[in-house]
Chains A and B, each alone.
Chain A
């Protein structure tokens, strides 16, 4: 079984001499700003492509909420491990993963993944890879609060299938 470094807010992995990947991993209650996180990477002259994914709360009526629980410690470790696995597979200069926890209302942001590389193919693919693994391996659980009461969201088979496509290659 692979072992990964313990998560820290800023973590650097040395890939090869002179090539260092920047990884930002954060689990937080407060909202995040795509623009601010993008700006953190935009000053670098070696990055030619940045792909951004934002996951949002959908299909909730006003007054309803989505609550996210997680496993503090393991969550950060799992996300850092996924970012490192992506970095071993594609030439990435930077990865940012921010996931919110707590109660979120309709249309609120849940998760941000930024992947930065020299060219777009690596940035696109690594971004999808990170989300596919995040959805099936990072210890978060969703619960919906609606007029009918609170209900845990079931895991979806399609998420597991999406992850498996990376293991076949």
Chain B
């Protein structure tokens, strides 16, 4: 069982009304793509934001991650809109 921390930032934090949560992943949720699919299946705003219509980025343990990246045990995963600093 992999329990991870998920952080949400900016527009996503507001849409989900959630800055962070701890979740225990089902065994089949082993990479970023599977995690996103699992979260999008919550329905409502989760489907709206993560279901494919809108663009977002994912970081694992504070490094940008691709959709095929595995999720290590106890990882800190962050999901956020494309960045707009500078």
Contacts and interface: CB of A to CB of B under 8 A. Distances in A.
Interface of A: 1, 3, 55, 68-71, 73-74, 77-78, 99, 110-111, 131, 134-143, 152-156, 159
B80 A139 contact: yes
Interface in B44-86: 55, 59, 62-64, 78, 80-86
Contacts of A110: 86
Given A139-B9, A141-B9, A74 B85 contact: no
Interface of B: 7, 9-11, 55, 59, 62-64, 78, 80-86
B62 A141 contact: no
19 contacts: A3-B63, A68-B85, A71-B9, A71-B59, A74-B59, A77-B62, A110-B86, A134-B85, A136-B83, A138-B85, A140-B83, A141-B10, A141-B11, A141-B83, A141-B85, A142-B85, A143-B10, A153-B84, A155-B83
A141 B86 contact: no
Contacts of A134: 85-86
Contact of B10 (A69, A111, A135): A69
